[in-house]
């Protein structure tokens, strides 16, 4: 019988044992995930980073770029975890959560949501957590930490990026502000999206492109926001949004 081949001081038999040990580390660790983000290149990057199922245990079973696609794919695939961007055409991540509420409440096969966003704005974080998301991490997270967060959410844990954890607790425990902003509640989800982009300095054409709507529709939403909030112009609107940390 021939001797095991030696590579860098490790025998082939030893290498096989290490491979078996590595495989055992991922054995039984499996989660089905849907990626929801309106940037195709970002979805491709996440898929490449975490979607090597044999190594990570993560199986990406679907992708979506807007609210309607997300609801359709999530309903069809029934993943265990959804990686959800906050800003999406069609109503945003909060709208996906609202329409998928029955799936989240399924006692036998719940669909859990982990927000994955570039934004760390207070309104974004609190909005999706109130909507039912189990956690919120920013897009600066590493692939390893993202995989870990996905499995923790699958198990029912709440997961937040370190900087956001204390912020979320403070926001919900704060007695300085009411838990519900009555002014914000007057606005529809689309009006809130337009408000946020206006406050960030986007031109009407840029907002229209970002939300896949016409410039005329943007103008209508801005007029509605100004009327509901009893403001006169976009400069007052920006100050109002900044005061509420929406920018």
In angstroms, what is the C-alpha Rg of the chain? 22
The predicted-structure confidence for 116-158, as pLDDT tens digits, reads as follows 998 887 778 888 888 899 999 999 899 999 999 999 999 989 8
What pLDDT sits at residue 170?
64
pLDDT at 171: 60
Higher pLDDT, 121 or 221: 221
The confidence score (pLDDT) of residue 174 equals 53
Look at 25-29, 46-50, 162-166, 234-238 and tell me which has the smallest mean pLDDT. Answer: 25-29
3-state secondary structure the chain: CCCCCEECCEEHHHHHHHHHHHHHHHCCCCEEEEEECCCHHHHHHHHHHHCCHHHHCEEEEEEECCHHHHHHHHHHHCCCEEEECCCCCCCHHHHHHHHCHHHHCCCCCCCEEEEEECCCCHHHHHHHHHHCCCEEEECCCCHHHHHHHHHHHHCCCCEECHHHHHHHHHHHHCCCCCCCCHHHHCCCHHHHHHHHHHHCCCCHHHHHHHHCCCHHHHHHHHHHHHHHHCCCCHHHHHHHHHHCCCC
* Phi, psi dihedrals of residue 128, rounded to the nearest 5°: -75, -30
Q: Which two tokens stand for residue 241?
A: 């949004």
Segment 64-99, tens digit of pLDDT: 999 999 999 999 999 999 999 998 988 889 999 999
pLDDT given at position 97: 93
234 pLDDT band, cuts 50/70/90, is confident
H-helix or E-strand spanning residue 159: strand 159-160
pLDDT at residue 3 greater than cutoff 60:
no
| pLDDT tens, residue by residue, 21-40 | 333 334 568 999 999 999 99
Q: Is the pLDDT of residue 227 over 80?
A: yes
Reported as a single tens digit per residue, the pLDDT across 151-210 is 999 998 989 887 776 666 666 665 444 445 667 777 887 888 888 888 888 899 988 888
Which pLDDT score is estimated for 180? 54
pTM of this structure = 0.62
* Structure token pair of residue 96: 């996906």
């Amino acid at each position: 019988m021939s001797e095991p081949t030696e590579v860098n001081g490790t025998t082939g038999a030893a290498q096989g044992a290490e491979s078996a040990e590595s495989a055992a580390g991922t054995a039984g660790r499996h989660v089905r995930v849907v990626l929801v983000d309106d940037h195709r290149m970002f979805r491709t990057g996440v898929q490449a980073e975490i979607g090597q199922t044999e190594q990570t245990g993560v199986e990406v079973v679907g992708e979506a770029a807007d609210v309607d696609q997300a609801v359709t794919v999530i309903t069809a695939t029934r993943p265990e975890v959804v990686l959800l961007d906050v800003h999406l055409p069609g109503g945003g991540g909060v709208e996906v959560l609202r329409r998928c509420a029955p799936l989240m409440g399924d006692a036998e096969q719940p669909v859990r949501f982990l927000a994955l966003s570039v934004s760390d704005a207070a309104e974004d974080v609190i909005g999706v957590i109130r909507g039912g998301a189990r956690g919120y991490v920013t897009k600066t997270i590493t692939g390893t930490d993202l995989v870990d967060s996905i499995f923790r959410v699958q198990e029912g844990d709440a997961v937040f990026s370190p900087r956001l954890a204390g912020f979320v607790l403070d926001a919900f425990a704060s007695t300085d502000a009411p838990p519900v902003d009555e002014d914000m509640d007057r606005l529809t989800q689309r009006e809130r999206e337009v408000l946020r982009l206006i406050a960030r300095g986007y031109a009407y054409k840029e907002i229209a492109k970002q939300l896949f709507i016409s410039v005329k529709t943007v103008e209508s939403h801005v007029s509605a926001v100004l009327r509901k909030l009893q403001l006169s112009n976009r400069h007052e609107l920006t100050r109002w949004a900044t005061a509420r940390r929406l920018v």
